[in-house]
Amino acid sequence: MSDPGQALVALMYALPLLIPAIIGVVLGAINMQRARKAAVLVIIASVLLFLEGGYNVVSQLFIMPLISGAESWEVFGAINGGVYAILTLSATILLISAAFVGREKSQTAAAYQDADAGLSHVPPQLAQAPNHRGALVLTLGLISLLVFQPLGIAPWVIGVQDLRAMREGRMDPEGRSTTLAGMVLGIIAIVLFVLGLIAIGFFIAALANTNWSY
């Protein structure tokens, strides 16, 4: 049985997966009515990442203490890498699919609704406004937070531009919440990336000082 200190360390290692997974489930549930297919894909991807984080904790607390011998470690490393690769790749594919699923259908449906309504109740500027990119921004934000943090600059920039266009009536404001959520996730990813670089810098500096002391 592992001690509380080991459990805390294992949990800290899993937090970069567990926290975004929880955020993904919450955002998917919030946007279930607006974009059901995309929301379901995001929730499934988040569950896979949650399983990956849980597997990380279980492997560190219960599997690794039982391993002994070089061959056993090689087998464990191969299995461990395969599990991480499958879960991460599956979640990434689902998130990328969520950015585009249903977009063409929703655009066509909106066009028919506007034609039936005659656009009599819609301001001319908004009637000609392009469809929002909320699902795309949200998916990019999730991918940057879960897979590749430097990508967070994309949802950050796109989100700022689209929110400004929505305020000015140049874009459909229906996707304001998803666009804002994706932009926030992108900002968080960039902040975590910068903090990681700073931590690496401190680690290298400390290591260099230790080497010089010898």
Q: What is the DSSP string of the chain?
A: ---HHHHHHHHHHHHHHHHHHHHHHHHHHHTTTT-HHHHHHHHHHHHHHHHHHHHHHHIIIIIGGG--SHHHHHHHHHHHHHHHHHHHHHHHHHHHHHHHTTHHHHHHHHHHHHHHHTTTTS-HHHHTPPPP-HHHHHHHHHHHHHT-GGGGHHHHHHHHHHHHHHHTTSS-GGGHHHHHHHHHHHHHHHHHHHHHHHHHHHHHHHHHHHHHH-
Predicted confidence (pLDDT) at residue 21 exceeds the cutoff of 50: yes
Residues 6+ apart with CB under 8 A from 6: 60, 61
Q: Which two tokens stand for residue 180?
A: 């804002």
pLDDT digits over 197-213, tens only? 887 887 787 777 765 55
Whole-prediction pTM value?
0.66
Q: What confidence tens digit (pLDDT) does each residue in 35-54 have? A: 788 778 888 988 998 998 89
Surface-to-core class of residue 91, CB atoms within 10 Å of its CB (0-12 exposed, 13-18 middle, 19+ buried): buried
pLDDT in tens, 114-157: 444 454 454 555 455 567 788 888 888 888 877 788 999 999 99
pLDDT band at 101 (very low <50, low <70, confident <90, very high): low
pLDDT on residue 102: 53
Rounded distance between C-alpha atoms, residue 21 and residue 80, angstroms = 20
What is the residue whose two structure tokens read 């900002």? 187
Task: Name the amino acid, one letter, at 181.
Answer: A
The rounded mean pLDDT for the chain is 77
pLDDT at 119: 47
